[in-house]
Amino acid sequence: MNNELLAQIEKKYKELYGGKPLLIRAPGRINLIGEHTDYNDGFVLPCAVSPAIYFAAEKRGDTKVCLNSYDYGSYCEFDVKQKDRPREQWASYLYGITQIIQEKGYKISGFNCVFGGDVPVGAGMSSSAALESGLCLAISELFSLNLDKMEMAKIGQKSEHEYVGVKCGIMDQFASIFGKDGNCVRLDCRSLDYEYSKLDLKDCIFVLTDTKVKHSLASSEYNTRREECATGVKALQKKYPGIKALRDATVEQLQSVIGEISDTVYNRCKYVIEEDNRVIEACNALNNNDLTRFGQLLYLSHNGLSKLYEVSCKELDFLVDQTKKMDYILGSRMMGGGFGGCTLSLIKADKLEEYKATILPLYVEKFQHECKFYAATAENGTAVI
């Protein structure tokens, strides 16, 4: 919890509107393994993290929604019934949440809101999901809607689909809402059953290394990957009608339709099928305290993301390659949608400073700008403070 930031948000709110606002913390997320599996009905293994977005909000007496982004120093207002989207890019997610909640039949009216956070934007920690989850809970609380957690995750995802144009899976919103202190959570993205496991990393920690790049391909390529997976499923279904999603397929089945699909589609599907299996294996490795195997699975995941799914980039590949020379790193991979953002590495805790001191000059020499480091721990999900 960033108490200082929370105090600033609350202070800003009181300066603008007075009153006694509701306060909410909505965290970003990391994903240990299971990338691009969520929209293929597969498995993911995320945690909520300590960087978060903080909200101060209170009902108004009218139907106006007044949103203040503390970080951008920007303001946006709209009527709850307004059909035109606000022009501000950052407000589209939030406008979307207010619309979707109403489409579901819930009655809301106007409110004031100030929000700001320390989730780095573009680093792949899902600041957008934090924004969606936090606002959803704020509205639920202000208007006593009693939205259940999974419903809120789905509202956030829908807002991303319809108001941002990224056909994302459910992982980010789920993780931001369901995160639990000290635990990772395995989600079955088909049944939406989930299971918490205590994260016991012994003498290791997770470190994020932020490439500080976000290639503009990210959202268009994301949607293309989804379509490629769907193409693969169609070809598989002709021969195996029981297959509903890549989650149901095996690599052998995929090989048997090799003549029906392009090399690209084959590679995309192979990656997803293998990654799903890796999530299961990674959970077993964690339960058996086998961090060595868990680390190897991170490297295998990266290899697939880079070579078969082709969502990595030279900065991410460079960082992962460098860690292979460091015996105090057990595994590393790119995290999230790809084309920039962070790598996630499992590292001996007492070697963190050595790692940073080694990587930073190498990275600067190669790319002429710095990378950034964050230690990642598992924290609680979106909640009223």
Active site includes 193? no
260-265 contacts: CB < 8 A, separation 24 or more? 260/235, 261/231, 261/232, 261/235, 264/228, 265/228, 265/231, 265/232, 265/235
Site string for ligand GLA, 320-359 (x = CB under 6 A): ----------------xx----------------------
Site string for ligand GLA, 111-130 (x = CB under 6 A): ---------------x----
- Exposed (0-12), middle (13-18) or buried (19+): which is 240, by Cβ within 10 Å? middle
Residues 12-41 that bind ligand GLA (CB under 6 A): 35-36, 38-39
In this structure, the number of other CB atoms found within 10 A of the CB of residue 250 comes to 13
Query: Binder to ligand GLA among 171, 243, 265, 342 (CB under 6 A)?
Result: 171
Query: Binder to ligand GLA among 45, 168, 185, 378 (CB under 6 A)?
Result: 168
Question: Tokens representing 215?
Answer: 């290639």
Site string for ligand GLA, 282-321 (x = CB under 6 A): ----------------------------------------
Q: Does 10 bind ligand GLA (CB under 6 A)?
A: no
Judged by beta carbon, residue 110 or residue 336, the one nearer ligand GLA is: 336
Q: Look up residue 333 and give its amino acid.
A: R
Helix (H, G, I), strand (E, B) or coil at 196: strand
Q: DSSP letter at 85?
A: P
Shortest distance in whole angstroms from residue 165 CB to ligand GLA: 12
Judged by beta carbon, residue 94 or residue 168, the one nearer ligand GLA is: 168
Paired sense of beta strands 22-31 and 111-117, if any: unpaired
Catalytic-labelled residue, pool 172, 210, 276, 317: 172
Question: Tokens representing 58?
Answer: 């209170």
The four Cα atoms 57, 153, 218, 346 give a dihedral, to 10 degrees, of: 100
- Enzyme catalytic residues: 172
Residues that bind ligand GLA (CB under 6 A): 35-36, 38-39, 126, 168-169, 171-172, 336-337
